[in-house]
Amino acid sequence: MSDPRTGNVKTLGIKVPDGLHAQFTLVAQLDGISLGDAAVRAVELYVATKRQEPDFAQRATAALEEIEREAAARKGAIEGLFGIGSQEPAEEAKPSASRSRKAGATE
Please report, as a single letter, which amino acid is at residue 40: V
Q: Within a domain: residue 35? A: yes
Q: Within a domain: residue 36? A: yes
Q: Within a domain: residue 54? A: yes
Q: Within a domain: residue 60? A: yes
Question: Can you tell me the distance from the alpha carbon of 40 to that of 9, in angstroms, rounded to the nearest whole number?
Answer: 11
Q: Within a domain: residue 33? A: yes
Q: Counting runs of H as helices and runs of E as strands, what totals does the chain give?
A: 4, 0
Q: Kindly report, residue by residue over 63-80, the tens digit of the pLDDT.
A: 999 999 999 999 999 999
Q: Within a domain: residue 7? A: no
- Per the CB < 8 A criterion, the answer to whether 61 and 68 are in contact is no
Sign for the CA dihedral angle at 26, 27, 31, 37 comes to negative
Per-residue CA distances from 57 to 49, 50, 62, 80, 96 (Å): 12, 9, 9, 34, 48
| Domain that residue 47 falls in | 18-81
Q: Region 71-99: what's the mean pLDDT?
A: 71
Q: Within a domain: residue 98? A: no
Q: Region 74-103: what's the mean pLDDT?
A: 65
Q: Kindly report, residue by residue over 20-76, the tens digit of the pLDDT.
A: 999 999 999 999 999 999 999 999 999 999 999 999 999 999 999 999 999 999 999
Top mean pLDDT of 4-8, 66-70, 83-87 is at 66-70
The pLDDT score that the predictor gives to residue 83 is 87
